[in-house]
Amino acid sequence: MHRFRDYLVRVNPETELPDTSAPQPAPRRASGGRIVLAGTPIGNLKDASPRLREILQGADVIAAEDTRTFKSLQRALDLQITARVLSHHEHNEQASAEGLVELAAAGSEVVIVTDAGMPAVSDPGYRVVHRAAERGVTVTAVPGPSAVLTALAVSGIPSDRFTFEGFLPRKTGERRGVLSELAGERRTMVFFEAPHRIDDMLEDLALSFGPQRLGAVCRELTKMHEEVLRGPLSELAAWASADKVRGELVVVVAGATQAEAEVSGDLLVDVETLVAAGHRLKDACAVVAERHRLPKREVYEAVLASRS
């Protein structure tokens, strides 16, 4: 009978089967407690999974990025929490990580939550996991919503290979320095940004990557006023400058073409050498494109972007 039930569940996890035994509480592991990274909704509360509810209500300790935000989530989801709720944020993460790992090592189930999304992804959590791994303490996760993956999925930009860059530096010079290093990145890039800096960020993206590089600005994902704007970086920068942008923002940018990735090296030198010798820019790009076996248009656009 048990084998038949297991088979049905494997074939169709949605299958509803009658309970043939009295419910038993989950056994505590004799080897001690564990750290659980729990993903919370990034906007729509209906994205809170049954497993998230279960793990929060059964936790011994909950380490929250903002205890007030967690209390609001608790009320919204009508959760009966018996755990100790501790503060664990970017300013005390280094100090509190050791204490949380100690609690887990002593047998407690320690659940880490952030204000929204998955812990340790541009949010507190990494240091706890790192320390737990050093101590041999079990770490697991309750997968949940992710602004990074959601934005990538709805952007319309290639998602087979990507890199998450988080928040760019606030200062203009430092931001442009980072972007110049990323100008040749072939993978799709995902960034976070604050509303009051989005116009400057998009202008610098267009300047560093070229005005025609495709991007997407994803605003208020999963919320009532969700909005996704797609287009060349120059157009997105103009939109941000014209409107007062609000809400949580994720920016997705297409990776460089092969020509754009190479333009900072020998390719650019070859083109500029031919131009200096008297060739028209388009003719120089055509010669270099044939030499490197690249599309002429890509080389031409890459050179224009490098000159902007």
The mean pLDDT of 154-165, rounded to a whole number, is: 96
Take residue 137 and report the two structure tokens written for it: 């303490």
Q: Is the pLDDT of residue 298 over 90?
A: no
Q: Is the pLDDT of residue 11 over 70?
A: no
Res. 208 pLDDT band, cuts 50 70 90: confident
Take residue 136 and report the two structure tokens written for it: 């041999």
Q: Considering only CA atoms, which of 164, 92, 74, 163 is closest in space to residue 128?
A: 92
Res. 303 pLDDT band, cuts 50 70 90: confident
Strands 227-232 vs 162-167: parallel, antiparallel or unpaired: unpaired
pLDDT, tens only, 233-291: 999 999 999 888 999 999 999 999 877 776 655 677 788 888 888 889 999 888 888 87
AA letter at 48: A
Among the residue ranges 84-88, 152-156, 301-305, the one predicted with the least confidence is 301-305
Take residue 54 and report the two structure tokens written for it: 């279960």
Instruction: Supply the DSSP string of 126-137, one letter for each residue.
Output: HHHHHHHHHHT-
CATH architecture of the domain with range 148-256: 2-Layer Sandwich (3.30)
148-256: same fold as 32-145? no
> What does each C-alpha distance from 238 to 54, 178, 187, 226, 235 come to in angstroms?
46, 22, 25, 20, 5
Look at the domain 32-145 and name its fold. Answer: Cobalt-precorrin-4 Transmethylase; domain 1 (3.40.1010)
The mean pLDDT of 91-106, rounded to a whole number, is: 90
pLDDT of res. 6: 42
pLDDT of res. 265: 59
Q: Considering only CA atoms, which of 84, 76, 1 is closest in space to residue 41?
A: 76
- CA-only gyration radius of the chain, Å: 25
Q: Is 191 helix (H, G, I), strand (E, B) or coil?
A: strand
Q: Is 269 helix (H, G, I), strand (E, B) or coil?
A: helix
Q: Is the pLDDT of residue 217 over 80?
A: yes
pLDDT of res. 151: 97
Domain borders along the chain are: 32-145, 148-256, 259-307
Taking the C-alpha atoms of residue 155 and residue 152, their distance in angstroms, rounded to an integer, is: 5
pLDDT of res. 296: 84
Cβ pair 42, 145 in contact under 8 A: yes
Q: How many Cβ atoms from other residues are within 10 Å of residue 103's Cβ?
A: 20
pLDDT of res. 31: 53
How wide is the angle at C-alpha 106 spanned by C-alphas 100 and 109, nearest 5°? 60
> pTM of the predicted model, to two decimals?
0.76
Q: Is the pLDDT of residue 94 over 90?
A: no
Q: How many Cβ atoms from other residues are within 10 Å of residue 266's Cβ?
A: 12
